A and B are shown apart, each in its own frame.
Chain A
Amino acid sequence: MSTLHAKAAEEYLRHTDIVERHDKTFFGVRQKRDNMAQALPEWEDLREAASQIKKHTVSHLADYLQQFEENATRNGIHVHWAADAREYNDIVYQILSAHGVKKVVKSKSMLTEECHLNENLEQHGIEVIETDLGERILQMMHLAPSHIVMPALHVHREAIGDCFRSQGLMENLEYPNMPDDPNDPTYLTFVARMHLRRQFTEAQAGMTGANFGIASTGEVVVCTNEGNADMSTSIPKLHIVSMGIEKLIPDYASMGVFQRLLARCGTGQETTVYTSHFRGPRPGGEMHIVLVDNGRSQILSDPEHWQTLKCMRCGACMNTCPVYRRSAGYSYTYFIPGPIGINLGMLRGSRKYSDNVSACTLCCSCDNVCPVKVDLSTQIYRWRQQLDSMHRADATKKIMSRAMSFIFRHPKLYTRLVGSLHLARWVPSAMMKTPLNPWTYGHEMMKFPPKSFHQAWKDLKPKEDEQ
């Protein structure tokens, strides 16, 4: 019984060249992150500080949220509270419809993905335009993100070029020095730029996520490289921020710590191009912040898993994960892949998303790159311990475990079996490679030595005594 992740990964792994490219791309980001870490003598102090700030904030979240709301309100921002995805979608729709909005430009936000905001608004006849280049490509191709920071790196330039051409984006577009490659990334980025810049001027509202909310000042901070969050909020008069309640930090001193970690860990840059602080509406405009719980307060009360709330969605755990790099985002059944996605999925619905907990070798690399020290692999291990009680354990492995447990409890039987293992050499490999022996799946069967270790040790001993 393979998990859905294992099955999807198996399918993905058939395309060796694609796998190799994906693996290299994300390991490259991991290496860039390492360079960043090694360039700062205070790196480990920063991680420890970030972890402690998050532990403190999360364990005083109600107080900080109240402080945040008070300050934001004083700044002229409308603050809303949403218990779940439905309430969140309703609030956003109500704000938009009250302003007669027909088109929204939107910067990347995993929270809107989590709550299926786009589909919801589209059902109400509101056009939603993703403005992050990767997200826009996926939106046009009707694909889901495969990574939380670099969502479309799995799509190749030819497919992107074809998509842009089919949407007519190249029409009436003048481009100096047209390259030989019609799918040249610089050219395609220019095409998208011209397309998106038109959207910014046509939209009546801009939506952003929030990388951080600062309680002491009542502001939100949004980090991008493209400047799309800023374009989305500089031209339309209405700005709506969607913010998970765990995104809060206490003050500017904390902000310094997180600003320095986010891009270094996420993409291996010292900073994003834009780190924008929104402390109120633009002149003549209106700003709303929707604070979303959607299961987060539940996570806080989980003694084994509350630390996932420290996560700031940098994606470093995915880039380093050997399983993610070789199975890619779509192999996971939760919309956030990789180590943090495995855990967040289990917290969202442990029965529904248990297929992902197999996507881990327990190498613990994610723990070592996480900027806020979420104990990702330990948590995955804990989930695995619970699989049996959820009736989601692999039946074959269960039988094997029981048999092994029986053998280990009977030393004489154990010795006799180990002593005769070498006979397995004479069994034809076709008989070994059966579904009952999962070891041979993807491996060659190991060659057992003619003598067991115990026997070899015993044979050696008299000689030692003679010396």
Chain B
Amino acid sequence: MNTKDKILARLREGVQQTFDMPDLSQLHGITYTDPVAQFIQKATTTAGAHLIELPGGVDLNQAVHQAYPQAQIFASNLPGIEVQLNPDTVEDVCQLTAVDVGIVQGRIGVAENACIWVPQAMKEKAICFASENLVILLRRTDIVSNMHQAYALIAESGEYFRDYKFGTFISGPSKTADIESALVYGAQAARSLTIILTS
């Protein structure tokens, strides 16, 4: 018997009592009358992100440059965004560690914890983490109340994990409290996060 069969056999023999899967449809997560307002509040307080509500007619490039006036290297593969590096065509992934601002599209916002579902939609996902600063675009209409709803949407949708086999929820900039519990933004990944809410 190989290791796998041995482990599986031991597990099958060892079970003392079996239990049914609970009915999770009976579990009701918290919902908000105004999920967008709750999302904005969570994102800008506990999550430590900046948030821009983009009025109609304002150019996205202008908003990004205004948010990061010192930045020199921008990276994205989104149409209409002016960049110096593209994560689809970058020769060496390490180049993305020099990016000042990476811009990606978020697909689901979660009001309870300011998580944004960012499925990999570019060849090098390093842009989401290695960029000094990250900008996530999110449509207001894509905000739900809680994680149960977000996971249900991902499970039902056939579009994620198709081209690239990765997706992540991001809530705020990279942070740590490993030195004497002092909260510090900018541990290993993005030092700041700006969420641009679009209509």
Contact = CB atoms under 8 A, between A and B. Distances in A.
Contacts of A455: none
Nearest to B110: A271
Interface string B37-56: 00000100011000000000
Contacts of B20: 56
A146 B130 CA distance: 29
Contacts of B19: 52, 55-56, 59
Interface residues of B, number: 76
A169 interface: no
A275 B179 contact: no
A252 interface: yes
Nearest to A61: B11
Interface stretch (A9-17, A37-45, A387-395, A437-445): A37-45
Nearest to A55: B19
A275 B29 contact: no
Contact of A226 (B130, B151, B165, B175): B175
Contacts of B6: 83
A301 interface: yes
Interface string B107-118: 000001111000
A261 B47 CA distance: 17
A227 B7 contact: no
Contacts of A256: 24, 29, 146-148, 150-152
A376 interface: no
Interface stretch (A74-82, A327-335, A342-350): A74-82
A66 interface: yes
Contacts, number: 266
B166 interface: yes
A60 B20 CA distance: 9
A234 B93 contact: yes
Contacts of A134: 176, 178
B182 A273 contact: no
A231 B11 contact: no
A87 B28 CA distance: 43
A25 B177 CA distance: 11
Interface of B: 2-4, 6-22, 24, 27-30, 42, 46-47, 93-94, 97, 112-115, 123-126, 128-130, 146-148, 150-152, 154-155, 161, 164-182, 184, 186-190
6 contacts: A56-B20, A219-B161, A234-B125, A253-B148, A271-B147, A275-B169
